Structure 1
Amino acid sequence: MLTTLRLTAFGVVDGAELDLGPGLTALTGETGAGKTMIVSGLGHLLGARADAGIVRRGADKAVVEGRWEVPPGLAARITELGGTVEDGEVVTLRQVAASGRSRAVVGGAGVPVSALADLLSEVATIHGQSGQMRLSTPERQRELLDTLAAPPELPRYQANFAERRIAAAELSQLESESQARAREVDMLRFGLDEIEAVAPHPGEDDALSGEQARLMDLDELRRLAGGAHEALSGDEADYDAPSVVSLTGATRKLLTDLADRDADARDLASRATELGMFATDLAADVAGYLDDLVADPLRLEAVGLRRQQLAGLTRKYGASIDEVLAWAEQSAARLNTLDGSDVRIVLLRDRIRELDAALESDAAAISTARHRAAGVLAEAVKHELAALAMPNAELRFDVTAAPLGPNGADRIELMFSANPGSDPAPLGKVASGGELSRVRLALEVVLAEGASSHTFVFDEVDAGVGGAVGIEIGRRLQRLARRSQVIVVTHLAQVAAFADAHFVVAKANDGQVTTSGVRRLDDAERAGELARMMGGDPDSRIGVEHAAELLTQARGR
């Protein structure tokens, strides 16, 4: 239930606050006074699309704030969003900047506007002129019928239908891409087979390149290594030829004799000894290297052939063998995915068959529940319409078979005729504005029988009617208000008389700016307002007496 509504800089409303309670609340006022702003404010609070045009001229933002009593389940959801609920009440806020930017707050926590709308849709509903037009749509008519039918299979059906739609889309894509996928599979398998046949090793191309260069340049390598060995060890044919080993040996002997005579030269002798050992070791290593430089034409040929095999891979799959191996790893993973697509197709087909069977079964049960509820709802609404001065109205829900859709396999159409002898036809084509208003009200009264703690807002539900019909509309709203909070914007005194609380929206004009304000009327003021609504003169004695009589009549219910 909405307990407080506050508007700031909202259209012509500079600032207004309504303290609301249970039962029926009426909002009245002269045409153009700003009654619509109250409903628009509530609409923004319930998640309507932000309109920068509602920001009052000269203000930087418009603000609508509402305090609600919420049930425990909704309070838990608000808490999950980070909002605060105190003593079962939560404050919600909608702010619209002059730039058009919008902000929503629930319990002190900023939330998306869609979340605000989703939360408050559980506790409040606005019925405006657009709602009357929507009543003419098959979707809204289905929603109304399902409110009474309440088929337990419907949520499961809707979830399965959504899953089937997703599965069918995926299957269609996989099947349409099957040829391209087959071509890619063949290409990947060919490449992987080719690489597997060669069986390269990481870095093998670089290693073979170096080995081939060494084998091809063997004579020059032997010349260089032989020269280095001769320089280190000396010429075997000329024992007197100087060499690094002989020279370092002589140097070591001289420095050792020097160290025997002078302790300061011991370090020099030690270093000379190390130099001799290093020269000897180096000479041995060069000799070993030289011994390994053996001509091997067969190995040279084998290396060349292997390099040709590797080059065949690097031409196709990468600039190096390491890149070829990386391509093979990625392609193997891709091949697994592509092979899995065929498995996925089989699984999807099986799942779609399962879903189709479940959908057919649930659709049949949903249809049975709707057929059963259609007669009950139509009869109840017909009784309400008779009380709303439409005793000859005919109303029925036609439930006919249709292809499986998001909400079942039924085509639902509300058929209506207002006069005897007229065949029922689609509601939206034959009902006038006043008739639509009464049909909508009758439906809400019937469907709200089991509802409680909901807030219904009716914007000129009495459009196009008057007189005795207005009284009956007031009675129906009063009846609806026994279980739910009802707020009605009305131009009929006959409706406003039934209200438990009556607010009037009045405008003032200082010649530059028009301002609307809202105030609650006491009993004496109500009679004057009702007199104004009936005859235009709030001070008319006869009008006030008539209004007082109307109030007495309404309170007698």
Structure 2
Amino acid sequence: MRVLEEIAIEDLGVIRTARVPLASGLTVITGETGAGKTMVLTGLGLLMGGKADPGAVRPGAERAVVEGRWDLTRHPQAAHRVDDAGGAVDDDGTVVVLRTVAQGRSRAHLGGRGVPQGVLAEIAADLVTVHGQSEQLRLRTPGKQRTALDRFAGAAHAGLLADHRAAWAERAGLQSEIDDLTARAAERAREAELLRLGLAEVERVDPQPGEDVELGALVARLGNAEQLRQAAQIAHDAVAGEDMETEGSAVHAVEQARRSLEGAAADDPALGEQAKRLAEAGYLLGDVATELSGYVADLQADPAALEAAHTRLAELGALTRSYGSTVDEALQWASDAGLRLLDLDDGGDRVEAMRARVAELDEQVASLAARLTAGRRSAAVRLSEAVTAELSGLAMRGARLEIEVTDSDPGPAGADHVAFLLVPHPGAPARPLGKGASGGELSRVMLAVEVALATASDDEAGSVLPTFVFDEVDAGVGGRAAVEVGRRLASLARSTQVVVVTHLAQVAAFGDTHLVVTKSAVDGDATVTGVRAVDDDERVRELARMLSGQDESETARQHALELLESSAVGR
């Protein structure tokens, strides 16, 4: 089982070019100081969405490139996230990740598609867990300790935690809305009163849709009645004269033209068609003449109607100055204001309903928090026993881990404060990891916790384990403790992929795969030319070098062989 298949690096730090194949089980990476072992982890960090440092680009190179391949066959959610980001997962379930770093910028690609580096971090969070000095520091924080305990507590506990977070978030949202409505009660009341006054004014005036436009046209007609009558009379006389037979009128001229064409139509039918069109024009002119005659007869000056129209327009104008530039806009304002008033008047009822829901959620949150506390206390006993047993095997016999679950202020994760306390030897007081553990002890406690989590039952573990990457997990240890560190890493690797960068032969001897970072000089510039897997005699020589600094030392070679034999038996 593995997530990381390989990493290819170009021009990163001291590395000019290197390809790191990663197998299942325990992979150990060794090499001389300065060869670039940590740059392998730096490259992995970039693939996981870590911050890019332009200073890490190899001197003389324009950019650094890191490419990796992830196997997502056992991580369908991660594969779906790749699809959501527009990347392509290969048919074999793998995806290629690429990161380039240059001066002032970096770029990330996932499955052939450019993505923000945050997407890589989001996906990698569930795939790979990196442990180094900074991760050890994080293990000292109560939040991280609570997270580890929750993970050990299992899938059912994780479901309770998710329900608690959801209920807490809903309650917080409702309370925030209640506080806002309560704080703005006076402001809402003033707004409601203004809306009522405006709606009352609109109701009193009772404007009709388009009324201002119609009244404007009426005022223009009544105010210019004499001019309009004269214009209509002149037009009527031009079209029809006194009786439509008046010589020189348009109707008379058209009729003459029609008769002339009809007389000649017998010799040319085309003229007959034109005669028909003139007849139609004559009918149209007759209709216009009739309507103009009626308009002149009906149009009379009406001072009373004109004054009434002016008065109504003034009333509508006062309304539109306050609620819109036209009557239609004022009517739309009234419609919107009515809906807003309903919302404002309903505020009190909504607050009461939300308060009732908050009360329900308070009970739900309290119940879930109590169940979380019970689950954490039960898991704390089991995890402390499991870690203590591991510490005994890690040359910390007599040491034990105590996990305290005490009350704290309620929050999204419950109402518990979790503290990991280390008793380094019988009779010593229990002290928090952040205060009572040395670097070497903290490394072993961290490893013991991970082994305990990895070897928990399915009910406790509840999920597919990520790939673990350890850097300097053997810091501050040696001798028998180093051997036990290697043994525990090998035990962890039975359940998942484990990658370890180490400087201890006792740890490296337990590796299923042993990779050596080699260094060579090119034009006086120390560069890494590759990472090679070693086996058999080459592996013995590398372990001998790690033991004594002399890979040809017969004594060191014998010791290396003994380590390999004992590690094989120990597994």
TM-score, normalised relative to structure 2: 0.84
> Secondary structure of 1:509's partner?
strand
Q: Deviations over 1:217-245 (max 9, x none)?
A: 556666777788889999xxxxxxx9985
1:434 Cα shift?
A: 0.9
1:253 Cα shift?
A: 13
User: Would the aligned equivalents of 1:232 and 1:243 in 2 still touch at CA under 8 Å?
Assistant: no
Q: Aligned pair in 2 of structure 1 residues 308, 509: CA closer, same or farther (>3 Å)?
A: same
User: Would the aligned equivalents of 1:474 and 1:494 in 2 still touch at CA under 8 Å?
Assistant: yes
1:374 Cα shift?
A: 0.9
Match of 1:24 among 23, 26, 42: 26
Q: Deviations over 1:98-120 (max 9, x none)?
A: 142221314x4555444433434
Supply the distance in 2 between the matched residues of 1:42 and 1:275 (Cα, whole angstroms). 91
> Secondary structure of 1:153's partner?
helix
Alignment of 1:66-81 (within 5 A): 66-68=69-71, 70-71=73-74, 73-74=76-77, 77=80, 80-81=83-84
Q: Aligned pair in 2 of structure 1 residues 211, 392: CA closer, same or farther (>3 Å)?
A: same
Does 2:109 match 1:104?
yes
Supply the distance in 2 between the matched residues of 1:261 and 1:114 (Cα, whole angstroms). 90
Does 2:250 match 1:247?
no
Alignment of 1:107-506 (within 5 A): 108-150=112-154, 151=157, 152-216=159-223, 245-248=245-248, 263=264, 285-294=291-300, 296-339=302-345, 342=348, 344-450=350-456, 454-506=466-518
Q: Aligned pair in 2 of structure 1 residues 299, 28: CA closer, same or farther (>3 Å)?
A: same
Q: Aligned pair in 2 of structure 1 residues 421, 275: CA closer, same or farther (>3 Å)?
A: closer
Supply the distance in 2 between the matched residues of 1:486 and 1:233 (Cα, whole angstroms). 107
Match of 2:41 among 20, 39, 52: 39
Structure 2 letter corresponding to 1:392: G
Q: How many pairs does the alignment contain? A: 548
Structure 2 letter corresponding to 1:141: Q
Supply the distance in 1 between the matched residues of 2:78 and 2:89 (Cα, whole angstroms). 8
- Percent identity, please: 43
Does 2:561 match 1:556?
no
Supply the distance in 1 between the matched residues of 2:254 and 2:442 (Cα, whole angstroms). 126
Q: Aligned pair in 2 of structure 1 residues 205, 526: CA closer, same or farther (>3 Å)?
A: same
Match of 1:522 in 2: 535
Supply the distance in 1 between the matched residues of 2:293 and 2:201 (Cα, whole angstroms). 43
Match of 1:541 in 2: 554
Supply the distance in 2 between the matched residues of 1:71 and 1:164 (Cα, whole angstroms). 36
> Secondary structure of 1:483's partner?
coil
Q: Aligned pair in 2 of structure 1 residues 210, 69: CA closer, same or farther (>3 Å)?
A: closer
Q: Aligned pair in 2 of structure 1 residues 389, 233: CA closer, same or farther (>3 Å)?
A: closer
Q: Aligned pair in 2 of structure 1 residues 211, 512: CA closer, same or farther (>3 Å)?
A: same
Of 493-502 and 174-183, the range deviating more from structure 2: 174-183
1:298 Cα shift?
A: 4.3
1:146 Cα shift?
A: 0.9
Match of 2:6 among 4, 7, 10: 4
> Secondary structure of 2:330's partner?
helix
User: Would the aligned equivalents of 2:254 and 2:282 in 1 still touch at CA under 8 Å?
Assistant: no
Of 179-188 and 143-152, the range deviating more from structure 2: 179-188
1:274 Cα shift?
A: 8.8
Supply the distance in 2 between the matched residues of 1:279 and 1:3 (Cα, whole angstroms). 93
- RMSD of equivalent CA atoms: 3.6
Supply the distance in 2 between the matched residues of 1:402 and 1:261 (Cα, whole angstroms). 110
Supply the distance in 1 between the matched residues of 2:305 and 2:537 (Cα, whole angstroms). 119
Q: Deviations over 1:66-98 (max 9, x none)?
A: 2426316357536744532434x4133131231
Supply the distance in 1 between the matched residues of 2:246 and 2:162 (Cα, whole angstroms). 101
> Secondary structure of 1:125's partner?
strand
Supply the distance in 2 between the matched residues of 1:233 and 1:20 (Cα, whole angstroms). 105
Q: Aligned pair in 2 of structure 1 residues 26, 541: CA closer, same or farther (>3 Å)?
A: same
User: Would the aligned equivalents of 2:209 and 2:328 in 1 still touch at CA under 8 Å?
Assistant: yes
TM-score, normalised relative to structure 1: 0.86
Match of 2:97 among 93, 96, 113: 93
Match of 1:64 in 2: 67
Supply the distance in 2 between the matched residues of 1:22 and 1:229 (Cα, whole angstroms). 104
1:34 Cα shift?
A: 0.8
User: Would the aligned equivalents of 2:127 and 2:466 in 1 still touch at CA under 8 Å?
Assistant: yes
Q: Aligned pair in 2 of structure 1 residues 285, 528: CA closer, same or farther (>3 Å)?
A: closer
Supply the distance in 1 between the matched residues of 2:280 and 2:140 (Cα, whole angstroms). 108
Of 404-413 and 198-207, the range deviating more from structure 2: 198-207
Supply the distance in 1 between the matched residues of 2:74 and 2:509 (Cα, whole angstroms). 31
Supply the distance in 2 between the matched residues of 1:304 and 1:253 (Cα, whole angstroms). 44
User: Would the aligned equivalents of 1:252 and 1:276 in 2 still touch at CA under 8 Å?
Assistant: no
Supply the distance in 1 between the matched residues of 2:380 and 2:564 (Cα, whole angstroms). 37
Q: Aligned pair in 2 of structure 1 residues 219, 430: CA closer, same or farther (>3 Å)?
A: same
Supply the distance in 2 between the matched residues of 1:348 and 1:397 (Cα, whole angstroms). 39
Q: Deviations over 1:506-554 (max 9, x none)?
A: 2222354221232222222222222222222222222222222222222
Of 156-165 and 223-232, the range deviating more from structure 2: 223-232
> Secondary structure of 1:101's partner?
strand
Supply the distance in 2 between the matched residues of 1:139 and 1:254 (Cα, whole angstroms). 104
Structure 2 unmatched runs, 5+: none
Of 470-479 and 259-268, the range deviating more from structure 2: 259-268
Structure 2 letter corresponding to 1:192: L
Supply the distance in 1 between the matched residues of 2:5 and 2:229 (Cα, whole angstroms). 104
> Secondary structure of 2:247's partner?
helix
Supply the distance in 1 between the matched residues of 2:568 and 2:291 (Cα, whole angstroms). 121
> Secondary structure of 2:419's partner?
strand
Of 44-53 and 214-223, the range deviating more from structure 2: 214-223
> Secondary structure of 1:401's partner?
strand
User: Would the aligned equivalents of 1:509 and 1:515 in 2 still touch at CA under 8 Å?
Assistant: yes
Structure 1 unmatched runs, 5+: 235-241
User: Would the aligned equivalents of 1:94 and 1:103 in 2 still touch at CA under 8 Å?
Assistant: yes
Q: Which has the larger Rg?
A: 1
